[in-house]
Chains A and B, each alone.
Chain A
Amino acid sequence: MINFEYTRVNSAKAAVAAKSKNVAAQFIAGGTNLVDLMKKGVTAPQRLIDINALPLKDISSDAKGLSIGTLVPNSVAAENKLVLEKYPLLAMALNAGASAQLRNMATVGGNIMQRTRCPYFYDITMPCNKRIPQSGCGAMEGYNRMHAIFGASDKCIAVHPSDMCVALAALNATVVISGTKGEKKIPFANFHRLPGDTPELDNNLQTGELITAVHIPANRFNRSYYLKVRDRLSYAFALVSVAVALEVTDGSIRSASIAMGGVAHKPWRLTEVEKYLIGKSITANVFKEAAEIGMKNAKTYQHNQFKVKMGKSAIVEALTKATS
């Protein structure tokens, strides 16, 4: 491991100041992803800024919605009463992620910032445009069973690995950010990026900026479900996952919000499906049509062709589970 400096900060302001001074610095909280990346030589920050002492560990709610501090451990968020009552979808997604041990360490902010698990990104002997721009994509012609079917580019076909983020995307959350110019909010849909020509950028966070909280707006969804299909029953990334949030009255869908995981470089909102579902009644045929619409523009690679069929099945199943 390459030597690095380590500092602790006590306020968001100090954190932002420390990071702005050094572009090769990184924040560390739970460290469940960053430490691995450092051990594997994928990243080598000159300085780690430990933000664990920051007072960003609260979960609070008001009429506008729910705020979750960036340092709240995934396991704490998953068991929080407010989360369970108002946003059970988020709790389901959180519990589907990683393992109990990792959920205890991993924070909400860190979960948003975690990097792809593409094997070519992790092995520094392999080409990877995300790790080293212009070095090529190992996965495109390589082993790509876990890779994207939506929104990929000819530079990168990696997927975002989070479960929590898929639920947050479906719940129209916003990411609350502290920077040198003060606080700003980015809607979840605009936070993570598609790879395009700059796969090295996972998201739109600027240098020096720190995620301080996630805000989930109050909503009228009264049915939700998170379905994750994976190779083993715990501690495995999604082959595909689906977060469904529906507002259903008198057997008819008033509004819908659906996001998928394991299919794109970011949580993938199925906006056309959402539009289609408005005003529809709850029938198997409606769900089947929704799945067809959702998977319409999928582009597959050598090993991930199954994701289209599995994606459709997962959409139908998640909608069925949410409404039954």
Chain B
Amino acid sequence: MDKNNLSETFFADDDRVDGLAKVTGKAKFTAEFKPAGLTHAVFVCSTIAKGAIKHMNIYEAKNAPGVIDIIYYLNCPAVPGYKPVDRIANPNARDFTGLKVFHNNMVVSNGQPIALVIADTYERAVHAASLVKVEYIKEKSETDFDKNKFNDKLLKPRPEYVRNQKDAWKNAEVFLEEEYTMPVETHNPMEMHATIAVWEGGKLTVYDKSQGPKNVQGELGRIFAIDEKNVQVITEFVGGAFGSSLRSWPHVHAAVIATKKLNRPVKVTLNREQMFTMVGYRPQCWQKIGIGASKDGKLTGIAHHAVSNTSSYEDFTEGISSVSQYLYDCPNVFTTYKILPLDINTPTWMRGPGPGTGCFALESALDELSYKLNIDPIELRLINNAEVHPQSKLPWTTKFLKECYALGKEKIGWHKRPTTPGSLKEDGMLVGYGMAVGVFGAGRNPATAKGILKNDGTLLLQSAVSDMGPGTSTAMVKIGSEQMGLEEKKVRFELGDTDFPTGPTQGGSGSATAVGSAVIAVCDAIKLSLKEIAIESIAGFKNVKPENIKYEAGKLIAANNVSIHFMDLLKETGKPEVQVSKSSSSFAQRDKYATNSFSVHFVKLHVHPVTGVIKLKHMVSAADAGKIISEKTARSQMVGGAVGGIGMAMTEESLIDHRYGRYINSNFVDYHVPVHADVPPMDIVFPNQPDYIISPTGAKGIGEIALVGVAPAILNAVYNATGKRVRDLPVTPDKLI
């Protein structure tokens, strides 16, 4: 089968290859592994936001039943990688910038891990941890973003971006300037973070909830000065992560410190409260947008400013305002971005990082502009559609954004949208329609895969990636099956083990293109090997050139119509299998093309005219994600992203009491992720147009654009229903009465 013509039709049997294991409990998640002699460890966490530990009394805890050890700053073995690197000896080495767990007595955030209690059971560790008494020298902490967001003494500016004039929007025929705010959002995957570390005979084995086992392997090797080949990281299944497992956090280091100190396997698990203070979050953000257009809707200028928070010890940035540089065709663009260090833990990438936050402001502002111009919001976007990348002037590899508008508009029934806000009622409810665009970078990272084609007709594929939920295994099985002309049930994809060939970290919607390209390269190499074996050993293939042999549905066919199935070929030549490893390189045409995935989200909702309660009625997401490899998992990703967007728009907000610098809603009762009742019927539509420039898989990536743009689509629909423009997320009922 020609790789440029992967079947465009969907498989009838589209189930996840690991679906049954997941729903029957057979799938083993990190905390479920039980190496012999396993010990259980839990953290004691700081209860102040800034200062130092004056004294830690571990006496009672140490003597509690079942306690094996308590590790804290006074007895923690030195961690080699926490020392500043020798730049002369290693010019490329970088200092470790994350939280150095148990390194000293300094407290830099509330909820910081300050001791690890290791016991024979989890319950005993939890109890003993509650007995550790800590005295602090408290310093005044600052966690209030709103109070400090314009404080230039604290803010760290990133480079400004200017295209032509900074202030052109102010001179436009129609313009507006508004501010938009977003609170801290916490990833809160269902599965809480856990690490099991086993140090045995100079070899470190780590079971870790990770989006990038190879990344963890490399980091642990560096931090603990262990040769990488003696570090194995295993991540068989991940119960959601949304970015919170893109790097290894203090608990991963703590588990390794403990297993090396005790010479016993140690399991560290976080509880839900600790998920708020240790594994990142989407930073709080303030944005201001000035946007102007001519009366006929042509954008003349955008100024987009953003401030988001970071920790006191690490700079985290996610390019929030950059989206205004390229989403629409606009001659004058000015963007700034500053970060504000606060006494809280470091944020990290959360699904749709950067554009997720940036599009909330830009797409809200564009909606506001559409009402001022009296132009339909979709029409306004079409008027300003960027045919080429506005900065680089490069063409996009593919861009089917216009098709997304058309598909989604039809599905949601856009023609029923009232042009006057607050003018349509249904069953006593105010009715609103809204839409917004999402965008994210696309591309292809390097990846390696191994393929073993056996003479029993099965294909085994391996790569050291992990699958946090998008369905990587399912997609890879589909690609392998198509490439080799095998039934899907004959193909298996193994992942989540650093002993497999190097795969990329799962993030930025890049797994399908990277690993998929490696799988295609592997399959091509296997086919070539088969052809060479046939040429060498099978009479009818003698002296035929490989390129003159076709491979079809498992059969090698020479021009003279001599054919042989690969199973027969291997059996006849006495070979049990053909095994190859192949790498696929990163996307190399960045100087020729712009690369993005796009989405358009549509919302129909009801707002109770008296109580302000919103009821979503229907959502449609249309995504230009390239070729859809697996319809079911692609759809699930889109639905999951939309639910995340509902949370961003309507319910999610991590709250800190600034007197203590401490979260007060770090649990699933008070931190509201959307529940089923909040989620409306959804339609997911794809133009399903392959992008073979980015990769031979034809895919562009789905995970991020599934969420980016959902929140502004909801907010725009709320305005359409009520005439109230809410610019501060989340839009809870009190903001609409």
Contacts and interface: CB of A to CB of B under 8 A. Distances in A.
Contacts of A227: 611
Interface stretch (B277-285, B480-488, B631-639, B664-672): B664-672
A57 B26 CA distance: 38
Nearest to B45: A125
B407 to A, nearest CB: 28
Given A142-B657, A232-B672, A239 B733 contact: yes
B675 A309 contact: no
User: Which one of B674, B675, B734, B737 has the highest number of Cβ atoms from chain A below 10 Å of its Cβ?
Assistant: B734
A141 interface: yes
A266 to B, nearest CB: 21
A56 B613 CA distance: 38
Contacts of B664: 119-120, 123, 126, 142-143
A85 B325 CA distance: 62
Interface stretch (A21-29, A189-197, A217-225, A313-321): A313-321
B644 to A, nearest CB: 14
B734 A239 contact: yes
B650 A313 contact: no
Contact of B651 (A2, A232, A310): A232
Contacts of A279: none
A227 B678 CA distance: 17
B615 interface: yes
A232 B675 contact: yes
B147 to A, nearest CB: 14
Contacts of B672: 231-232, 236
Interface in B331-355: none
B670 A310 contact: no
A41 interface: yes
Contacts of A99: 675
B612 interface: yes
Contacts of B615: 233
Interface in A202-261: 227, 229-236, 239
A120 B674 CA distance: 24
Nearest to A237: B669
Contacts of B36: none
B47 A125 contact: yes
Interface in B588-628: 608, 610-613, 615
A183 B650 CA distance: 48
Interface in B656-692: 657, 659-660, 662, 664-665, 667, 669-670, 672, 674-678
B275 to A, nearest CB: 15
Nearest to B732: A231
Interface in B463-481: none
A96 to B, nearest CB: 11
Interface in B509-536: none
Contacts of A233: 613, 615, 675, 677-678
Contacts of B611: 227, 229, 310, 313-314, 317
Contacts of B734: 145, 239, 306, 310
A63 interface: no
A31 to B, nearest CB: 16
Interface residues of A, number: 33
B130 A313 contact: no
B47 A141 contact: no
Given A141-B659, A313-B611, A316-B610, A234 B676 contact: yes
A41 B130 contact: yes
A310 B657 contact: no
B650 A232 contact: yes
A125 B662 contact: yes
A143 B655 contact: yes
A117 interface: yes
Contact of B737 (A41, A120, A310): A310
A120 B670 CA distance: 12
B123 interface: yes
A73 to B, nearest CB: 20
Contacts of B670: 117, 119
Nearest to A229: B611
A199 interface: no
A236 B613 CA distance: 13
Contacts of A120: 664
A138 interface: yes
B127 interface: yes
B106 interface: no
Given A117-B670, A306-B734, A310-B737, A232 B678 contact: yes
A248 B664 CA distance: 45
Contacts of B737: 306, 309-310, 313
Nearest to B730: A231
Given A231-B651, A233-B675, A117 B47 contact: no
Contacts of B732: 231
Contacts of A229: 611-613, 733
Given A310-B737, A313-B610, A142 B674 contact: no
A137 to B, nearest CB: 12
Nearest to B614: A233
B38 interface: no
A83 B667 CA distance: 34
Interface in B552-570: none
B544 interface: no
Contacts of A117: 669-670
A38 to B, nearest CB: 11
B126 interface: yes
Contacts of B655: 143
25 contacts: A117-B669, A119-B664, A120-B664, A125-B660, A126-B662, A126-B664, A142-B659, A142-B664, A143-B655, A143-B657, A227-B611, A229-B613, A230-B733, A231-B672, A231-B732, A232-B650, A232-B674, A232-B678, A233-B677, A233-B678, A234-B676, A236-B672, A310-B733, A314-B610, A316-B610
Closest 3 CB pairs of A and B: A233-B677, A306-B734, A234-B677
Given A229-B611, A232-B677, A234-B677, 6 more contacts: A2-B127, A99-B675, A126-B660, A229-B612, A229-B733, A233-B613
Interface of B: 47, 123, 126-127, 130, 608, 610-613, 615, 650-651, 655, 657, 659-660, 662, 664-665, 667, 669-670, 672, 674-678, 732-734, 737
